[in-house]
A and B are shown apart, each in its own frame.
Chain A
Amino acid sequence: MSTLRLDIESSSGTLFGPRLGKVSLQRDAEGSTLEILTPGLITSTSRGVVPHLSRNNVNATAAICWVHVPFESFLEVSPPTPTLQPGAHPLHKYLGFRRDQHIVSTSLRDPSDDREMPANGNGFANAYCLRGVRKVTPADWRNWVVKMQPDIVTALTDVPFTAGPHSQKRMTKSLERSSAWLSDLLQPISDTGVDTRRQRSILVHMAGGVIPTARKAFSLSLLETLYGKEAEAVKPLATLDEGVSGYTFDLVPLHKALSPTAAPIRSTHPPTLAATMAALDPHVDLPTPEASAKLVPLLHASLSPLPQHKPRIAHSAASPHEMLLLIRDVGVDLFDAHWAQRAADIGVALDFTFPAPNGGADARADLGHNLYDTRYAHDFSPFADAFGTCETNNDDKDTARTTCPCIACSPPRLGTPLRHSTVDGPYPAHAPAPFTRAYAHHLLHTHEMSAHALLAAHNLAVLDAFFAGVRVVLAARPSAFAREVERFAEAYDGGLAVWAQARAAWAEVALARGKGRMAREKEKQEQDTLGTAVEL
């Protein structure tokens, strides 16, 4: 059995203040425990793999500890192939994650996907795969999860992805189904008779959309003492919440509902480019600061009745600014890194720290560099100014910077070089140098995949360091945290202007390489979920 728990080291004493802690996953059978300091990050995956990172680069990226696997892409084959993987720990084995290094969680749907979907039914949730929409019943989900043995699983949830706004009746249904589907996952598996429900830790998505009373009602339903058939089904649990290890928040549908649904903003780009951008990257809605702020009372409504000691997890936060807001005002413990990983897709190298550096410039700094920009063509500095590299001399304590441990800034040796014949002499070992912006700029403009590998690993490392910085402040000067959040907002551009530039440049290069490629790419991107596919 594996147990997910949160140890809160310090909190502000209020229900929703920032919390410093440690999430640990204890695997009894193996006698091992994996720990993630919180606030911290979860790595997103696409089709079961970390975008752009081969397994040896995943293993060389320390920031990758907890990986979240949306299951729906596997519905292309029936039964889904990960459920057929032989041997122990099938999901780890199938996807190549290491038991001693990686916590693997799964949910049916990709939390970053906001495409419109047909309505769910009482007995099934719809999921998306390349071969179309698939209906998944709670029993399917339970059976697959038992076979795959993820460390952590999110119960099916009924989030309407049909065109809004949704009626009150629809919302009531959503709550009923979500709690019924959670209840189903908490049941022992009947056909084997084995009580398997405690083999894994179960997360529940906080339903209720943008209606605070609905959100609160859902939480209260988790706490209701169960009677009769309902109690019998989940015996010995007295309430559903007893079987739940943590609470998740999918922010994408909330962002969508909270953003003003005005007419689409007229693009300033030429029509072909605008069309290309829309086709390549449909996920553009960045919530306004006002929309982000509106998340806070919604999350409060969900959490206020619930016990405080369980991890709070937010998926697809739109920026570090939003993450800080949710740490400060909600006490969220874990965030997925979708934002940082997506930045790597569009050629952005992150470059920011928390706390923000002192004595900032007049203008707000960008959170990263759009390496497509020609200003980087001759820039031989490493990806980030805020971090040192394997070559940085940190002897001067005043100017010492944290070393970025990523494969771009501190390239690692990847094992002993293979030898292919007995006559091969020793393979010379050289101290690797950090990769430069000029090189990444070149790779981006020539559509070389290596650019995204370097950026994906780098961006995860920068986000990891950001959370480490948050933890340092929460540990050493908790009273200064709120002030530091404000200083961060003043120091860095939360509007992500550099993102818009990078997206445009990314689409320009895609377009320039033409020859029917666009049609193929468009088709692929419409089908894929995360939008991480770049030209092979």
Chain B
Amino acid sequence: MQFEVLATCHTTRARVCRMTLGHGVTMLPTFMPVATQAAIKGLTPQQMEGLGVSLILNNTYHLNLRPGIKVLQEAGGAHKFQGWNHNLLTDSGGFQLVSLSKFTKITEEGALFASPFTGEPTMLTPEESMSIQHAIGADIIMQLDDVVSSLTTGSRVGEAMERSVRWLDRCIEFHRKSGRDEKQNLFAIVQGGLDPALRDRCLEEMIKRREGVAGYAIGGLSGGEEKDIFWRIIKQCAEKLPADRPRYSMGIGFAEDLLVCVALGVDMADCVFPTRTARFGVALTHNGPMNLRLGKYAKDFGPIDDTCPCPTCSDGTSRSILHHTITRETSAAHAVTLHNLTFQAQVMGRARDAIIAGTFPKYLRSFFAGYFSDSGYPEWCVNALRSVGVDLLEGDPAAKVVRGNGAKWEYSDAS
């Protein structure tokens, strides 16, 4: 990997970087669409190329089950298998073991779980995770970490963090010996739950191992924790992580989360949110989410956003025809997915431009004003951005501020 910081924001910790991987250049900060089972749901790789997306994510747990490693090896790797010639990232499979399997038991050796096919006890070790990810062949691969829910408290959090460090050593060792470390880049995952002391300890240990690590992810968040704690942990980790390594915040996809994380120094994020919500009829816009299932869109002949360059909007696809077809016809899901991924890319692309131009604080203020001015600014965003020198309420101290997670939503009236 070549990693180059091109510009940093004069106020916040945001930065623009060029990351060159085996399948081309990806400019950071970026949002990574999720192709869990080797396809962005409903789309073809050619459609993804049309959107200018250069880095997507596959899930190791899923690909290991189907099509299985043997098929991927025969195909010559996941890139060839799915016809994707750009950059690819795989997770370690550990997160899904915890979230999808009821019977997972973590031992020092690895994660013991019941095979979803045979029910037999199966062990996923750090070495096995590396080996599977080698077969998949993604440009960025993730260490196996000991994942606990962000709501877990007590000694288990510290234990998981310590074990994640030990498993990182085993991943680095296995990866180095495999000879794959030239083509595939291993990322460490910082754990430690919501405890700043544990996070510090994890950061310290993992930064010591930086020679074996191409980048760092911040894990163990986005699990339902208080947003006010979430941003503080992100800030703490991003501040400590080395500047010459990309920083990846896992499972982040709401526009406000993305921009706060970027302002705190995060370079990459992924989430199923924009693609999943598209299938249920929610289009993302710079004025907030739009639920196309609402009756008010039945006779609305305008596009989702007439300034949007996505194939759906630029073709003039109306809210009305999307209302008529969404959740009924797969092509409506495709149309809104194309739009939402473009929206995500635009939010991040404009951030890159603003950071380069030295106008990132202004961009933050104008984005949040457009997105939240009617419903109110989430208080945690105001606090988080204030911590890096940007006051969203500047010039409008009377603006409405809402407590809680503040996520904006247009609820369905469809029965």
Contact = CB atoms under 8 A, between A and B. Distances in A.
Interface stretch (B79-87, B133-141, B251-259): B79-87
Interface string A127-156: 000000000000000000000000000000
Nearest to B47: A414
B317 A55 contact: yes
A51 B331 CA distance: 7
A49 interface: yes
A450 interface: yes
Contacts of A74: 324
A96 B51 contact: no
Interface stretch (A104-112, A331-339, A419-427): A419-427
Contacts of B38: 439, 442-443, 448
Contacts of B44: 57, 407, 411, 450, 453-454
Contacts of B338: 54
Contacts of B75: 380, 436, 438-439
B66 A446 contact: yes
B311 A438 contact: no
Contacts of B52: 417-420, 424, 427
Interface in A86-114: 86, 93-96
B330 A453 contact: yes
Interface in A486-502: none
Given A81-B324, A95-B321, A421-B349, A411 B46 contact: yes
**How big is chain A's contact interface, by range?**
35 or more
A530 B66 CA distance: 30
B334 interface: yes
B330 A423 contact: no
B184 interface: no
A439 B45 CA distance: 12
A467 B39 CA distance: 32
Contacts of B317: 55, 96
Interface in B1-29: 6, 16, 18, 23-25, 27
A504 interface: no
Given A51-B329, A445-B66, A453-B334, A77 B37 contact: no
Contact of A86 (B85, B298, B301, B312): B301
B332 interface: yes
A85 B43 contact: no
Interface string B319-342: 011001101111111110010001
B71 to A, nearest CB: 6
Interface string B280-313: 1000000000000000001101000000011110
A424 B349 contact: yes
B16 A407 contact: no
Contacts of B70: 378
A77 B24 CA distance: 49
Contacts of A450: 39-44
Interface in A246-262: none
Interface in A408-435: 411-415, 417-425, 427-428, 430, 432-433, 435
B40 to A, nearest CB: 8
Contact of A423 (B27, B37, B346): B27
Contacts of B245: none
B238 interface: no
B185 interface: no
B316 interface: yes
A48 B322 CA distance: 11
Contacts of A315: none
Contacts of B330: 51-52, 449, 452-453, 532-534, 536
Given A51-B330, A415-B50, 18 more contacts: A49-B321, A49-B325, A54-B42, A54-B43, A54-B312, A54-B338, A85-B318, A411-B45, A414-B50, A415-B311, A420-B352, A423-B27, A423-B353, A427-B49, A446-B62, A453-B44, A536-B41, A536-B333
Closest 5 A-B residue pairs measured CB to CB?
A420-B349, A449-B42, A421-B349, A54-B334, A430-B85
Interface of A: 46-57, 73-74, 76-77, 81, 84-86, 93-96, 377-378, 380, 407, 411-415, 417-425, 427-428, 430, 432-433, 435-436, 438-439, 441-443, 445-446, 448-450, 452-454, 524, 528, 532-534, 536
